[in-house]
Chain A
Amino acid sequence: DQQVKQNSPSLSVQEGRISILNCDYTNSMFDYFLWYKKYPAEGPTFLISISSIKDKNEDGRFTVFLNKSAKHLSLHIVPSQPGDSAVYFCAARRFSQGGSEKLVFGKGMKLTVNP
Chain B
Amino acid sequence: ETGVTQSPTHLIKTRGQQVTLRCSSQSGHNTVSWYQQALGQGPQFIFQYYREEENGRGNFPPRFSGLQFPNYSSELNVNALELDDSALYLCASSRQGRNEKLFFGSGTQLSVL
Which A residues lie at the B interface, using CB under 8 A? 4, 6, 32, 34, 36, 41-46, 49, 51, 89, 91, 96-108
Known contacts: A32-B99, A42-B106, A44-B104. The answer to whether A108 contacts B42 by CB under 8 A is: yes
Q: In the complex, A104 Cα to B41 Cα: how many Å?
A: 12
From A44, A45, A51, A99, give the contact of B43 (CB < 8 A). Answer: A44
Q: In the complex, A4 Cα to B31 Cα: how many Å?
A: 24
CB <8 Å contact, A44 and B90? yes
Q: In the complex, A41 Cα to B101 Cα: how many Å?
A: 20
Q: What's the least CB distance linking B62 to chain A, in Å?
A: 17
Q: What's the least CB distance linking B88 to chain A, in Å?
A: 9
Q: Which chain B residues lie closer than 8 Å to A103 at the CB level?
A: 33, 35, 43, 45, 102
CB <8 Å contact, B56 and A43? no
Q: What's the least CB distance linking A44 to chain B, in Å?
A: 5
CB <8 Å contact, A89 and B42? yes
Task: Report B38-91 residues with CB < 8 Å from chain A CB.
Answer: 40-45, 48, 50, 55-56, 58, 90
CB <8 Å contact, B48 and A101? yes
B24 on the A face (CB < 8 A) = no
CB <8 Å contact, B105 and A100? no
Which B residues lie at the A interface, using CB under 8 A? 4, 31, 33, 35, 40-45, 48, 50, 55-56, 58, 90, 92, 94, 96, 99, 101-107
Q: In the complex, A45 Cα to B3 Cα: how many Å?
A: 11
CB <8 Å contact, A100 and B50? yes
CB <8 Å contact, B45 and A99? no
From A44, A89, A101, A108, give the contact of B56 (CB < 8 A). Answer: A101
From A43, A46, A49, A51, give the contact of B106 (CB < 8 A). Answer: A43
From B42, B99, B105, give the contact of A106 (CB < 8 A). Answer: B42
CB <8 Å contact, B106 and A41? yes
CB <8 Å contact, A45 and B42? no
CB <8 Å contact, B42 and A107? yes
Q: What's the least CB distance linking B60 to chain A, in Å?
A: 12
Q: What's the least CB distance linking A110 to chain B, in Å?
A: 11
CB <8 Å contact, A102 and B42? no
Q: In the complex, A44 Cα to B35 Cα: how many Å?
A: 11
